[in-house]
């Protein structure tokens, strides 16, 4: 009986440890189109990191989901997650898909990651303006 109980406890612990180890990410972004009051779906966002010589190195790119989000930039645990990064939001195709003119073909947001905390970089967007901040 004790052996069966021990095996059961081990299996339960193993199952929950797998759930706890699901990959988490240190950086996310969100785009809210304030001209429509809706998330901006399908916007390509590119992440780059600045090298010691000032050059930018491509890290990852993806398109925003239906909620206007990309949540999987920079997996936790990588020592290279600190430094100066740039997110480039390619918004011209988004506004063209809505048959709207826009002033900015793309937006570049440069920021520095200094700690192991989560960083969220959202933008509010309209065809002729945008705003960004460090979210949570």
Tell me the pLDDT tens digit for each residue of 96-111.
999 999 999 999 999 9
**Amino acid 6: pLDDT:** 46
As a whole number, mean pLDDT of residues 34-38 equals: 97
Spell out where 21-128 has E strands.
25-33, 38-39, 44-50, 56-63, 69-75, 83-90, 107-113, 119-126
pTM: 0.81
Half-sphere exposure of 23 (CA within 13 A, CB side): 9
**Amino acid 1: pLDDT:** 53
CA dist., res. 30 & res. 39, Å (int): 8
**Amino acid 21: pLDDT:** 38
**Amino acid 9: pLDDT:** 42
Domains of the chain plus CATH, in order, are: 24-132 (2.60.40.180)
- Of the candidates 95, 100, 98, 29, the residue with the CA atom closest to the CA atom of residue 67: 29
CA dist., res. 58 & res. 39, Å (int): 25
**Two tokens, residue 24:** 């988490």
pLDDT band at 134 (very low <50, low <70, confident <90, very high): very high
> Are 47 and 86 within 8 A, CB to CB?
yes
> Are 39 and 123 within 8 A, CB to CB?
no
Residue 16 has pLDDT above 70, yes or no: no
Residue 20 has pLDDT above 80, yes or no: no
As a whole number, mean pLDDT of residues 51-75 equals: 94
């Amino acid at each position: 009986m004790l052996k069966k109980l021990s095996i059961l406890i081990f299996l339960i612990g193993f199952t929950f440890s797998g759930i706890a180890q699901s990959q988490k990410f240190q950086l996310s972004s969100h785009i809210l189109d304030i001209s429509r009051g809706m998330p901006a779906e399908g916007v390509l966002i590119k992440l780059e990191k600045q090298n010691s010589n000032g050059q930018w190195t491509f890290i990852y790119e993806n398109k925003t989901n239906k909620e206007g989000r990309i949540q999987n930039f920079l997996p936790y645990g990588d020592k290279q997650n600190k430094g100066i990064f740039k997110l480039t939001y390619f918004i011209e195709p988004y506004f063209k898909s809505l048959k709207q003119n826009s002033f900015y073909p793309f937006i570049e947001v440069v920021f520095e990651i200094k700690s192991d905390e989560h960083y969220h970089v959202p933008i509010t967007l309209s065809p002729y303006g945008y705003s960004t901040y460090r979210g949570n």
